[in-house]
Amino acid sequence: MPAVVGVGVQWGDEGKGKVVDILAEHADIVVRYQGGNNAGHTLVVGDEKTVLHQVPSGVLHDGKICVIGNGVVVDPAALLEEIDALRGRGYLEDESLLKISDRAHLIMPYHRAIDQARERLRGEGRIGTTGRGIGPTYEDKMARIGLRFADLLEEATFAEALRRVLEEKNAYLRTMLGEQALDYVRISDQYARLRERLAPHVIDAGVFLDRSLAAGRRVLFEGAQGTMLDVDHGTYPYVTSSNTTAAAACTGGGIAPNRISCVVGITKAYTTRVGSGPFPTELLDAVGEKLQRDGEEFGATTGRPRRCGWFDAVVARHAVRLNGLTGLAVTKLDVLTGMKTVRVCVAYELDGKRVEEVPASIAAFNAVRPVYEDFPGWEEPLSRARSLDDLPQTVRRYLTAIEELTGTPIFMVSVGARRQDTIILQNAFNA
């Protein structure tokens, strides 16, 4: 049976939560495959807004199994807060509906301390981390000194590993970062309590997903952030600490590549990004302020204002190539209402030459200038549209331009924050 991946096309914040929430209706299992609680997915069901950080977006549908894959780095204390908040609202009452990979790495208190101290020391050169310990946890994973849920469940193994690692981390905190050392007993006691609460959820997620697919279950994979924040293919070093592209659904979920049947790229009808780094189409004027205001462009996790700009087809084509996108989900189309002219960046100019691809050099990316194509805007509100025929001709022309410039068909169009404010053109599970 099909495995569908939902992936961000831009710098994250594309509305993946809503799209995954809609696709989850057709899935049996929803899997988060990378990132940590530095990302937030905002979902609006009826008049109720929910922000999720580590629990997969399928949680708002009855009976859906939610899996936190091995590619995710998990803050267990924050996860329990999220679980308890959801249970307080009637979700996850059946604890068997949430499963955590035994190979997922743990975010530890020293990871957060190191993350925050480093960012302070960077000053103006800071990269925009949320300070939640995501990067240092991935560092330890690659340095082979990380702690996993499998370790947490074995008390003696965890105690020995924690003592060994904390000695090293405390030396680094004191001598290199000028911070106070952390207490072993306090951390050990805290994680013992977390072990007791989370142990019932921990499984071999890769085996579970493989067997589920073999049994005919439909599986939906959701990532965090977006393609341009991928540690290999994004605007390095202004990126996250994991691979955010569709291929990470295999490594971060524990399934084979040939299991994936469809990849849906989620993109705003314009572009935003949070934090520092290149942004060729950024608008530092009244138009950018309108996009930020009308689009409510503030981070779901941090509340930070997002930088806003026109749709960047160069970035979108980069994402199409890297992810092998089957189709696009275009979100926040309604935010462009009221614009006399809507612009699309179709290429860049660098040193007098036309550039069609995203440059690897951060200096070059900062130096490019967007080459725009202009399209007529529209005044009509779009929130009640439920088919393409309900949209003004100018809007349909804009959507057609996105399809042509990216070489990818549009599967879904979002014209508002609620579930029902969506035009479904193609079900990804039938693509």
How many whole angstroms separate alpha carbon 357 and alpha carbon 368? Answer: 11
CA–CA distances in Å: residue 192 to residues 18, 100, 149, 153, 189: 35, 17, 12, 9, 5
Taking only the tens of pLDDT, the chain with its 431 residues reads: 689 999 999 999 999 988 988 999 999 999 999 999 876 666 676 667 777 889 998 888 999 999 999 999 999 999 999 999 999 988 998 999 999 999 999 999 999 999 999 988 877 666 667 789 999 999 999 999 999 999 999 999 999 999 999 999 999 999 999 999 999 999 999 999 999 999 999 999 999 999 999 999 999 999 989 999 999 999 999 999 999 999 999 999 999 999 999 999 999 999 999 888 999 999 999 999 999 999 999 876 667 899 999 999 999 999 999 999 999 999 999 999 999 999 999 999 999 999 999 999 999 999 999 999 999 999 999 999 999 999 999 999 999 999 999 999 999 999 998 889 999 999 999 87
**Residue of 21, 28, 41, 201 marked catalytic:** 41
SS3 state at 116: helix
CA–CA distances in Å: residue 414 to residues 18, 99, 309, 334, 388: 9, 30, 18, 8, 11
How many whole angstroms separate alpha carbon 271 and alpha carbon 309? Answer: 5
Q: Is 94 a catalytic residue?
A: no
CATH topology of domain 267-430: Adenylosuccinate Synthetase; Chain A, domain 3 (3.90.170)
- The three-point CA angle 128-8-298 to 5° equals 45
Q: 105-198 belongs to which CATH class?
A: mainly alpha
Contact 347, 356 (CB under 8 A): yes
Which pLDDT score is estimated for 266? 98
Q: Is 13 a catalytic residue?
A: yes
SS3 state at 133: coil
> Could you tell me the pTM of the whole model?
0.93
Amino acid at 194: L
The H or E element containing residue 165 is: helix 155-175
Which pLDDT score is estimated for 58? 86
Which pLDDT score is estimated for 9? 98
Cβ within 8 Å of residue 284, ≥6 positions away:
none
Helices 155-175 and 109-122, packing angle to 10 deg: 20
Amino acid at 195: R
What ranges do the domains of the chain cover?
3-101+202-263, 105-198, 267-430
CATH architecture for segment(s) 3-101+202-263:
3-Layer(aba) Sandwich (3.40)
Which pLDDT score is estimated for 404? 98
SS3 state at 20: helix
Long-range CB pairs of 165-174, under 8 A, 24+ apart, other chains included: 165/108, 165/110, 165/140, 166/110, 169/110, 169/114, 170/110, 172/114, 173/110, 173/113, 173/114, 173/117
**Residue of 13, 140, 230, 421 marked catalytic:** 13
Closest of 253, 302, 299 to residue 66, by C-alpha: 253
Helices 155-175 and 184-198, packing angle to 10 deg: 140
DSSP code for 298? B
Pairing of strands 260-268, 41-45: unpaired
269 token code pair:
């009808």
How many whole angstroms separate alpha carbon 279 and alpha carbon 365? Answer: 8
